[in-house]
Structure 1
Amino acid sequence: MDDQTPKIYSKKAILGFSIFMSTLFGGILLYQNLINVRKKKEAYIVLGISILLTIISIIIVNIPENPKSYLAYVCGFAGGSLLSNYFVPKYFPDEEQYPKKEIWNPLIIAVMITAAFIALMVYAASVENG
């Protein structure tokens, strides 16, 4: 690859974000990779699958009487594995040839979104009990 080769997020980054945040986060990283290499149709397919997998994960995590948080990690690992071990090799068979993007920007965004959700949950609980 030459100097014009776009940077992409690595398979490990996609898997990690899928496990610790959600498959949607990992899917957005892969979506961004595909947009950067001008594979728009494939990018929207991956994004749609990521949204579907995230919805399925939410349903699975909330099926038990007492939701188990470990199920979110299991679902994230399953979805992230699909993204990083099926879709990345399918659309980036020479993935190791691409320079890798740093994960700091998506990590900061993910932490901010998570903090906002936590703040909303704390606020909702205080209003409910107030």
Structure 2
Amino acid sequence: MKALKDRLAEKTDDQLMYYLEYVDKHTDEAIRLAMAELQHRKVELPEGMVERVELQLSDRNITEAKSKKSWDNFMVQDDVSPQFYSQRAIYCFSILFSVFFGSFLLSANLKAVDKPRLLVILYGFAYAVLTIIVGEYMKTGLSYAFIANSIGVIIMQTLFWDRLIGKETKYNAKPIWKPLIIGVLIIAVLIMLFLFANQ
């Protein structure tokens, strides 16, 4: 497959101008390469077009950055920042396996920065028990568990991550394979126990 630059070089001037006139339909790379190709051909662009295109690209990048989940904004790759399970990982594990499970991941993060861990585990346990009790009482389905867990983990992140670790603390994302294996094993054991109990 030809490189994008080579493919654009085969297009006519009018086709390349289309990239500049409809910025929202193309990637930044394609637009900049199209502009560079037109300038290489010494095509005279309409007055102010370059500035307008750059402004549109800048506005789009700012909008995209704002739309990204804030929990990804402070992940880095360096030798200085601590290693944490990411907020995304804690969120996903809490929804899939329970807030109690997610509380252990957050507890590991707190340990890495010498912060108290007991309260977050107690919170996770209490919330998980409350979720089960309410679910049994209301005879709810699986969707209730996902909704309840998503609410519980957001509260947990706000109470413990934001206050004890800090919203803007930079960190290296810790691999999730170990908790993932543990979570899958726990689910497998619970399924086996359920099947044996109903034989």
For normalisation by structure 2, the TM-score amounts to: 0.57
Distance in structure 1 (CA, Å) of the matches to 2:198 and 2:140? 18
In structure 1, the residue matched to 2:189 is: 116
Contact 2:82 2:171 in 1 (8 A): yes
Contact 1:88 1:95 in 2 (8 A): no
Distance in structure 2 (CA, Å) of the matches to 1:36 and 1:123? 40
Structure 1 alignment gaps of length 5 or more: none
Distance in structure 2 (CA, Å) of the matches to 1:29 and 1:109? 12
Contact 1:16 1:80 in 2 (8 A): no
Q: Over aligned residue pairs, what C-alpha RMSD do you find?
A: 1.8
Contact 2:89 2:176 in 1 (8 A): yes
Distance in structure 1 (CA, Å) of the matches to 2:89 and 2:81? 19
Aligned AA for 1:3? D
Contact 1:30 1:46 in 2 (8 A): yes
Aligned partner (choices 77, 83, 90) of residue 14 of structure 1? 90
Q: Deviations over 1:78-97 (max 9, x none)?
A: 11111223321111215551
Distance in structure 2 (CA, Å) of the matches to 1:35 and 1:112? 24
Aligned AA for 2:124? S
Structure with higher RCO (Cα < 8 A, 6+ apart): 1
Aligned partner (choices 108, 112, 129) of residue 32 of structure 1? 108
- Percent identity, aligned pairs only, is 33
> Is the partner of 1:92 in helix, strand or coil?
helix
Distance in structure 2 (CA, Å) of the matches to 1:68 and 1:99? 37
Aligned AA for 1:37? V
Equivalent residue pairs, number: 123
Q: Deviations over 1:17-45 (max 9, x none)?
A: 11111000111100111112211xx3101
Task: Out of 16-25 and 95-104, give the one that drifted further.
Answer: 95-104
For normalisation by structure 1, the TM-score amounts to: 0.86
Aligned AA for 2:187? T
> Is the partner of 1:70 in helix, strand or coil?
helix
